[in-house]
Amino acid sequence: MRSLFGSNDNSGSKSGSDELVSRHSSGWKELLKHLRAHESLRILDIGPTSSGNINYITSLGHSIYMANLVEESAKPEWLTSAADGEPPTFDVERFLAANLEFSGRIFDVVILWDTADYLPESLVGAVLDRIHQVMQPGGLMLAFFHAATGPEMAFSRYNLTDTDHVEMQRAGSYPLLHIYSNRKIEAMLAAFSGYKSFLAKDSLREIIATR
């Protein structure tokens, strides 16, 4: 399973500054309460691998698995040949089989970060459907969505802290592909039993969706 967390720290494609920028996150604050209140949760962190995140989650007594879907989806190997004059198409099923197949594992928490904003359009719905399938009923998913362009649009690693802040660190030069409206986000999360939105002072929306 190529994207599951193993023993190596694979930081993905990096460019620009490694500077850490602290950002208040009401969504992370809420999720952290949940992590502290429960034991032995199984967590899926979808983003650039961070040894700090791995160590922090395991220090709370939980297990963690990781998948960097943005880096993977940018590889040309997922594009299928097209007829003359037609653009290539993204092989969604092959991508899901290679990157979101967990051998029967079911997760209590998924941290999606802002992944959906950087995935090809044809992949977004399929990824959310697969995440929903591999979550426990009542499980929580933390997701960020860009509300506008701004300094937060750079693809970033989100480093967890023991506070209500996360530390953002640029992790690649992948372009921001989507800015979803509130109505679109609601439609994307229709399979979930509900979600809670958090106000932010910057251009990121934060949501915790319940399976």
Q: In whole angstroms, what is the distance from residue 210 CA to residue 19 CA?
A: 33
Instruction: Determine, yes or no, domain membership for 132.
Output: yes
pTM of the model: 0.87
Amino acid (1-letter code) at residue 185 = I
Instruction: Determine, yes or no, domain membership for 184.
Output: yes
Total domain count for the chain?
1
Where in the sequence is the domain holding 104, given as residue range(s)?
Answer: 20-210
Instruction: Determine, yes or no, domain membership for 7.
Output: no
Torsion on CA atoms 39, 133, 155, 163, rounded to nearest 10: -20
Instruction: Determine, yes or no, domain membership for 2.
Output: no
pLDDT at 151: 55
pLDDT at 150: 60
CATH number for the domain harbouring residue 168: 3.40.50.150
pLDDT at 115: 96
Q: In whole angstroms, what is the distance from residue 183 CA to residue 181 CA?
A: 5
Question: What would the two tokens of residue 169 be?
Answer: 């660190």
**Helix, coil or strand: residue 112:** strand
In what helix (H) or strand (E) does residue 35 lie, and over which residues does it extend? Answer: helix 26-37
Q: Where are the beta strands (DSSP E) in the chain?
A: 20-24, 42-46, 63-67, 79-80, 89-90, 107-113, 135-146, 156-159, 165-170, 194-198, 204-210
Q: CA-based diameter of the chain, in Å?
A: 57
How do residues 46-105 score in pLDDT, each as one tens digit? 999 789 999 999 999 999 999 999 999 999 999 987 677 778 899 999 999 999 999 999
Instruction: Determine, yes or no, domain membership for 8.
Output: no
Residue 6 has pLDDT above 60, yes or no: no
How do residues 97-138 score in pLDDT, each as one tens digit? 999 999 999 999 999 999 999 999 999 999 999 999 999 999
Amino acid (1-letter code) at residue 201 = K
Main-chain dihedrals φ then ψ at residue 8, nearest 5 degrees: -95, 150
How do residues 125-174 score in pLDDT, each as one tens digit? 999 999 999 999 999 999 999 987 665 578 999 999 999 999 999 988 89
Instruction: Determine, yes or no, domain membership for 9.
Output: no
Instruction: Determine, yes or no, domain membership for 196.
Output: yes
How do residues 10-39 score in pLDDT, each as one tens digit? 333 344 457 889 999 999 999 999 999 999
Pick the closest to residue 175 from 207, 138, 144, 149 (CA basis): 149
Instruction: Determine, yes or no, domain membership for 121.
Output: yes
